[in-house]
Chains A and B, each alone.
Chain A
Amino acid sequence: MKIEIKDLSQVYKNDFRALDKVNLEINPGMFGLLGPNGAGKSTLMRVLVTLLKPSHGEVYVNGDALSKNRGEIRSYLGYLPQDFRFFSKLRTWEFLDYAASLAGIHNKKKRLAEVDDLLEQVGLFDVRNRFANKLSGGMKRRLGIAQALVGDPKIVVVDEPTTGLDPEERIRFRNILSNLSQKEVIIILSTHIVGDISSTCSQMALLNGGQVHFTGSPEQFVKQSKGHVFKTSVTFDEMKTISEAYPVITSVPDAGGYEVEFVADNVNGWKASAIDPNLEHAYVYFMEYLANTKKA
């Protein structure tokens, strides 16, 4: 299973370029799509799941053009939309049953077994008879992922899946996806929450302003910012100056003021020690420095 995205552009009516000549290659495993709000993540995902026809370019799945083989490609897609909150009046299990039927499981017995299995997996078995719109936010997300996974999809696309989830839910959610990535499945996860990617993804891309700014593994991404992340202690007065000068990532109050972590190309006169960057640092560094210079 392999997805190639070639020269993909999406221009909306008002000349807004949501995607600008995107080229990507996605292999089985978990693929993280990182970027700020409005970067074009959702647009890219909607193109991938055949909801949107791109203005230009093509997506190839195993070498087959997406625009010409929607029927086939849809048959191995699973998709969790971003705003997965409103349900028609169906019970939890019925909702999954509906999805399973459309996913092509014709045999009723098999289908119901799979539905129960999935409900078990996402921990919704106890509420299987509750109406889906009566579920809590986290449960709805889990139901969402369950319906995306129904029918053994080969490509799973999840759009901002962890927004609004509490940490426990989020961890559970990541685990479900991780389990899945053991199989030969492409999981595309779009997020603006860096932690989601660092903990699960083997590949990632960074999207900003409709363009791909980085592709590779998260480690490679983090490496870019090595030597540009610092830690220091500042007084209350200095805090203002430093936060004006550099993007401050964390600031922990201590006895004399704050202990701050920040990113910078050069530390001009601050007594600061470079620390090992993590994905979050890398993301901020990238957004603040690399993205701008690249654009310029």
Chain B
Amino acid sequence: MISLFNVRTVSRFESKTLLRSWFFRIFAGVGFFFLLMFNMFAVAAIGDGAWPGRLVPSAVPYFNMWMLNIAQAIIAVFLSADFLGRDKKLDTTEAFYVRSMSNMDYVIGKTIGIMKVFLVLNVIVLFLGILFTLIGNEVPVNWTSFLIYPLLISLPTLVFVLGLSFFVMTLIRNQAITFVLMLGFIALSLFYIRNKWFGIFDFLGFFTPFMRSDFTGFGNESDLLFIRLGILLLGVVFILATVWRLPRLEQQKYSKVTLVVSMSIMFSAGIGLLLLKANRDYGNTQLRVEINTLNEGLKDSPYKIKAYDVDLKHSEKSIACIATLNLELEDKKNELVLALNPGLKVSKISSGTNQLQFERKGHLIIVKTSLVQSQSFDLKIEYDGQINDMAMYPEVDEEALLSLNRLDPILANKQFSFINPNYVLLTREANWYPVVASKLYWTRYPFTEMNLNVSTKNGLTVISQGNVVESDNGVWQFSPEQKLNAYSLVIGQYDHLRTTVDSIEFNLYHHKKHDFFKPYFTELSDTASHIIKGIKDDFERKLGVKYPFKRFSVIESPINMYSYLRNWSLATESVMPEMVLFPESGGGTWQNDLSRKKERIEDRSKDNNEDKSEKEVQVEVLKSYIGDNFIKPQRFFFGRRQDGERSVENWGRYQVFPNYFTYSNSVEEDGYPLLTIAMENYLHKRLSETQRRGLGGLSPNDEVILKLREKSLADLIKDEDVNTLGNVFASKGSQLLSNLKVNNEEGSFDTDLDEMISESRFKNVSLSEFSITMDELAQTDFSNLYGSWLNDQDIPAFLFGSINVWEVKEGNRIRYFMKVPVSNHGEVDGILSFTIREGQRRGGGRGGRFRSRFGMDGDDDSNNQSFVIKKGETSDIGFMLDDLPREVQVETYLAKNIPSSQRLETNDVITDQKKIKYFEGKSPSNTRLKHSEDFEIIVDNEDESCTLVNTGESRTIKDWWASKQNQDEESDTYGMIRFWNPPVKWKPVAGQDFYGEYLKSAFYKRKGSGAGYVSWKASIEDTGNYDVYAYVPDIRGGRRRKGGNSERDYHYTVYHDDGVEEIETAITSENSGWVYLGEFYFSDGEAEVRLSDTSTKSEYIIADAVKWVKK
């Protein structure tokens, strides 16, 4: 039996010893200091570096425990390996071994001793969290979380790490090797295992989402219980195994037997729990496979649902529904296949008085309609149960599914729907009401009428689309004004704020405790609606269409809610018709940190010597809050984009845009909804500002160009997984509409399109209808254009000539004439779109950018014009400007040109030719533009005669690590320059600053020993003297920036007839572009120039192009 007294004694002295050990003191001190700093600056927002995650409920205890857990796992390894190591070395231990206590007493005592010490550490850290949350005073302290997190995160990890290191130590009996093994195991789990294999190996809890919502708790309680308890039990097993392996003769006769028996029981229990979780996940994976297989086999359905009548009863953790569907048979009779979430069990299907037979396969319901005779009939479906989240988003691949929902840096769960006793959230994707399962049905959003009656328990607010009436018997009746293509349902305990703007009802539903935003808007009770109206008007002016609904609601939803961006739509499930499901407390993003936002605005006005009243500040806070979230979302990422998700510029999960198009317009297409995508992206682009990519790197559009190099869109759809083609659809779509636009010579395309969109709202527009409208709009044969858009793989290729600007006199005015020579060398016609900004940047500094971003400027100072350039055509494009051009940006859409959006350089303004013949628009030109002159030979990095030599990489561990990081983060496509961590091998980069005929690219790598180099070889035909130039783009940056213009040294070697010349050139912002290397004599044959990877002043080398110019 265990003697409690002995255990207490051993543990008492063990903790005493540990608390006195310097190792523990230093490690714990460092950890404590770090967390103190974190809590002080990030949580209490003392100073400038507040962490926006602090606003999310339970994030503070979560983060503290999460960080502490790693630190204490490492400390525990050292301490526990030390325990037996110390025991072995010290004969003093034997003096205690001969005392009358059981081995169990001893090991348990030791373990508890160590745990006690960590308990102290945990308590201190949690205390810090509480203290600084109170000081910060923005969100209330969530006391239960401060209790739950240590038990959930700290305890299992600690027991497991202690147990395992004890046990490894008893096996290996070598302290150093045990350290290495255990730390290696921790590193392995952090850097490799992560959340692989159903997350059951994540003993550190580093990749397990522990975010706790104030609405719905963890959401994955059983998963957490299985994993954490499983790990805890295994830890206990290891501790018992240590008792078993302890180098001390046991005291009791049967102790070993008892020990082994209890070990096996706990081991089975622990493993069992983990397997249970794994098995459940595996089952879900299988379900997804089944759903996808079933979906692939779907055919076009002759049935259409005209209207729904749904009665939904919510009780505890389930819903029970009676849905009456009004169906219409449009074609030959066939079996009726419906889709409904497989978590919902169908009990009865009837039509009139006839009860119908049905079969359930995965998510499908196959109804035998032989009893139904009419073309139009009602079908009553009774079903109840829960939503199986894993049946949602079935086409989302494993990688995206497993990617972490990181809220910089802690992890939220990914829940797609909720049915809890006090909370329900169902979106269209939950498939909580049946839809017709026809081919590609999940990409279709047909408009259907729905009347919804919901009953739930008292005290809960029910939110859905349409006008709501709460009847006396507690039933909420929703009757939408229009047919909608998505219905959602939210039930919860909400506080409700309401205002009416422009006869649209604006609602804000927030958690009863989450009113932290209120103090920031105290002065706005009478102005808020004006501000909202202003923003709305700006937005609609830019977008061209009006808000189609009667109401708009922002509904705070659980932090663990997640939605995926699909390939066929810019809308996620976080936006539903009339509503945005906004993350709890703002989701811990920088833009939703109101106090910091306010401070920044105040600081800025102080800097600008503006004296702003509290009200003015609040106005700005509200504007930027709305702008950042719903109008023009800004996505801040640290590092790379989110795993497995499509990247769309100027996109945000909560933007209202889908309400203006996706949830109000639909074209019925046969295959993939390409036209809907095209329109959606064309409209969305009106909202966007092209981002400058000074550091290189490819925009999503550029990546699409690379992808379309050898295939037409139709080929791609046939050959590749459509789920990976989101950006292709978007770019192609936007190009299609842009093409149509330039075809309309009256320039009325956009206004006509807007009108067409407004008129076809909430209607299911057939393809033929759409085609006819487009013919009119674009004054062209739409189906012809559409066909070549879909099937042609040829693309235009533009060359731009040198751009001159003349100061001219027009009447009495001085104006500026800019001429852009351009050629299309491609196989097909192409379009160009110029954006020209004139004069000095207004406002300047942060304020200016801020204003323009959030639509505080009435109008944009840019001027946008598009042109068609036919294949083989060379033209000059003339612009008359009132002011000097500041920036000339050209967009080439899907052409050979990469980057597809580039800034063109203009020559110095010519002032002495005031009489030049100026013109506006396109004018044919006879001088066909050439990439290079006859007397020069240019070899670019894209040419075959440019070769790379990589040697000596990975000489140091740092290099090896860097190269490993590169592998992780990049494929072999063109990246952007990473100053802070250049690659050890030559890597391709692309961007407008590089040289190239169509593809502006270069190679770069970190500086090396000189063993690596890039070689350009030209075949010289005419013997003679040549000037040799190398192209070095003016790109600067990186760690060792000294002043504004850092000089870099590049080492070129020119191989010429008289020998070999090594040339060291200093590259500065003045001496860049084509850098002169010297004049050399070459006879016919091969000439070579090399660029070595050595440099003393630059951390990285860029290799671009070399030219030989005949004298």
Q: Shortest Cβ distance from A291 into chain B, in angstroms?
A: 29
Cβ A74 vs Cβ B99 within 8 A: yes
Also in contact, A81 and B250, with CB within 8 A (given A71-B100, A71-B102, A102-B9): no
Verify if B98 is at the interface (C-beta below 8 Å from A): yes
Cβ B249 vs Cβ A81 within 8 A: no
Verify if A144 is at the interface (C-beta below 8 Å from B): yes
Binds A, one of B15-23, B72-80, B212-220, B753-761: B15-23
Also in contact, A98 and B92, with CB within 8 A (given A88-B17, A89-B20): no
From B89, B91, B248, residue with most partner A Cβ within 10 Å:
B91
Chain A residues in 8 Å Cβ range of B100: 71-72, 74-75, 77, 102-104
Chain A residues in 8 Å Cβ range of B21: 89
A78 to B1040, CA, bound (A): 68
Cβ B17 vs Cβ A102 within 8 A: no
From B9, B89, B99, B249, residue with most partner A Cβ within 10 Å:
B99
- How does the 8 Å CB contact mask read for B65-100 relative to A, with 1 for contact and 0 for none? 000000000000000000000100111101111111
Verify if A87 is at the interface (C-beta below 8 Å from B): yes
Residue of A nearest to B21 (CB): A89
Pick from A70, A71, A80, A98: contact of B9, CB under 8 Å: A98
From A77, A82, A102, A103, residue with most partner B Cβ within 10 Å:
A102
Verify if B252 is at the interface (C-beta below 8 Å from A): yes
Pick from A53, A72, A79, A89: contact of B94, CB under 8 Å: A79
From B6, B92, B97, B248, residue with most partner A Cβ within 10 Å:
B92
Cβ B251 vs Cβ A99 within 8 A: no
Verify if B253 is at the interface (C-beta below 8 Å from A): yes
- How does the 8 Å CB contact mask read for A74-96 relative to B, with 1 for contact and 0 for none? 11010111111111111000100
A37 to B5, CA, bound (A): 40
CB within 8 Å of A: which B248-265 residues = 248-253
Q: Shortest Cβ distance from B621 into chain A, in angstroms?
A: 56
Also in contact, A49 and B91, with CB within 8 A (given A70-B249, A89-B17, A90-B17): no
Cβ B102 vs Cβ A83 within 8 A: no
CB within 8 Å of B: which A46-65 residues = 49-53
A68 to B253, CA, bound (A): 7
Verify if B960 is at the interface (C-beta below 8 Å from A): no
Verify if B517 is at the interface (C-beta below 8 Å from A): no
Verify if A9 is at the interface (C-beta below 8 Å from B): no
- SS class, residues of chain B in contact with chain A: helix
A-B contact count (CB 8 A): 87
From B21, B89, B94, B101, residue with most partner A Cβ within 10 Å:
B94
Verify if A147 is at the interface (C-beta below 8 Å from B): yes
Q: Shortest Cβ distance from A162 into chain B, in angstroms?
A: 16
Chain B residues in 8 Å Cβ range of A81: 91-92, 94-95
A293 to B89, CA, bound (A): 40
Pick from A52, A70, A80, A90: contact of B95, CB under 8 Å: A80
Residue of A nearest to B18 (CB): A89
Verify if A148 is at the interface (C-beta below 8 Å from B): yes
Cβ B5 vs Cβ A77 within 8 A: no
Cβ A90 vs Cβ B98 within 8 A: no
Cβ A106 vs Cβ B5 within 8 A: yes
Cβ B5 vs Cβ A101 within 8 A: yes
A256 to B96, CA, bound (A): 57
A106 to B250, CA, bound (A): 22
A79 to B96, CA, bound (A): 9
Verify if B282 is at the interface (C-beta below 8 Å from A): no
Cβ A101 vs Cβ B9 within 8 A: yes
Chain A residues in 8 Å Cβ range of B34: none
Chain A residues in 8 Å Cβ range of B17: 88-90
Number of interface residues of B (CB under 8 A): 29
Chain B residues in 8 Å Cβ range of A51: 94, 97-98, 248-249
A106 to B98, CA, bound (A): 18
CB within 8 Å of A: which B15-44 residues = 16-17, 20-21
Cβ B92 vs Cβ A88 within 8 A: yes
Q: Shortest Cβ distance from A167 into chain B, in angstroms?
A: 24
Cβ A148 vs Cβ B90 within 8 A: no
Pick from A90, A102, A106: contact of B99, CB under 8 Å: A102
Cβ A90 vs Cβ B16 within 8 A: yes
A74 to B98, CA, bound (A): 6
CB within 8 Å of B: which A100-138 residues = 101-104, 106
Residue of A nearest to B8 (CB): A101
Cβ B13 vs Cβ A103 within 8 A: no
Chain A residues in 8 Å Cβ range of B248: 51
Residue of B nearest to A106 (CB): B5
Pick from A52, A88, A147: contact of B90, CB under 8 Å: A88
Cβ A99 vs Cβ B98 within 8 A: no
Residue of B nearest to A83 (CB): B91
Cβ B90 vs Cβ A86 within 8 A: yes
Cβ A74 vs Cβ B251 within 8 A: yes
Cβ B251 vs Cβ A71 within 8 A: yes
A52 to B13, CA, bound (A): 25
Pick from A70, A85, A90, A148: contact of B91, CB under 8 Å: A85
Cβ B95 vs Cβ A50 within 8 A: no
Chain A residues in 8 Å Cβ range of B252: 71
Residue of B nearest to A53 (CB): B249
Chain B residues in 8 Å Cβ range of A102: 6, 9-10, 96, 99-101
Chain B residues in 8 Å Cβ range of A98: 9, 13, 96
Chain B residues in 8 Å Cβ range of A104: 100
From A83, A98, A99, residue with most partner B Cβ within 10 Å:
A98
From B9, B21, B96, B100, residue with most partner A Cβ within 10 Å:
B100
A283 to B589, CA, bound (A): 86
Q: Shortest Cβ distance from B97 into chain A, in angstroms?
A: 6
A82 to B96, CA, bound (A): 14
Q: Shortest Cβ distance from B2 into chain A, in angstroms?
A: 13
Q: Shortest Cβ distance from A241 into chain B, in angstroms?
A: 45
Q: Shortest Cβ distance from B886 into chain A, in angstroms?
A: 71
Residue of B nearest to A73 (CB): B100
A212 to B243, CA, bound (A): 36
Cβ B249 vs Cβ A86 within 8 A: no
Q: Shortest Cβ distance from B14 into chain A, in angstroms?
A: 9
Chain A residues in 8 Å Cβ range of B86: 88
Cβ A87 vs Cβ B90 within 8 A: yes
Chain B residues in 8 Å Cβ range of A88: 13, 17, 86, 90, 92
A106 to B3, CA, bound (A): 11
Chain B residues in 8 Å Cβ range of A85: 91-92
Q: Shortest Cβ distance from A141 into chain B, in angstroms?
A: 12
A219 to B63, CA, bound (A): 76
Chain B residues in 8 Å Cβ range of A50: 98, 249
Residue of B nearest to A68 (CB): B253
Cβ B98 vs Cβ A79 within 8 A: yes
Chain B residues in 8 Å Cβ range of A83: 91
Q: Shortest Cβ distance from A101 into chain B, in angstroms?
A: 4
Cβ A70 vs Cβ B96 within 8 A: no
Chain B residues in 8 Å Cβ range of A52: 249
Q: Shortest Cβ distance from B564 into chain A, in angstroms?
A: 55
Chain B residues in 8 Å Cβ range of A94: 13, 16
Residue of A nearest to B13 (CB): A98
Residue of A nearest to B17 (CB): A88
Chain B residues in 8 Å Cβ range of A148: 95
Residue of B nearest to A67 (CB): B249
A163 to B89, CA, bound (A): 19
Cβ A99 vs Cβ B99 within 8 A: yes
Q: Shortest Cβ distance from A82 into chain B, in angstroms?
A: 7
Q: List 7 A-B contacts (CB under 8 A).
A: A53-B249, A81-B91, A85-B91, A98-B9, A101-B9, A102-B100, A106-B5
Q: Which residues in A have some Cβ–Cβ distance to B below 8 Å? A: 49-53, 68, 70-72, 74-75, 77, 79-90, 94, 98-99, 101-104, 106, 144, 147-148
Q: Which residues in B have some Cβ–Cβ distance to A below 8 Å? A: 5-6, 9-10, 13, 16-17, 20-21, 86, 89-92, 94-102, 248-253
Apart from the given pairs A86-B92, A90-B17, 10 other A-B contacts in the complex at a CB distance below 8 Å: A52-B249, A77-B99, A80-B95, A81-B92, A81-B95, A84-B91, A90-B13, A98-B13, A102-B9, A102-B10
| Nearest 7 pairs of A and B residues by beta carbon | A74-B100, A75-B100, A102-B99, A81-B91, A101-B9, A83-B91, A89-B20
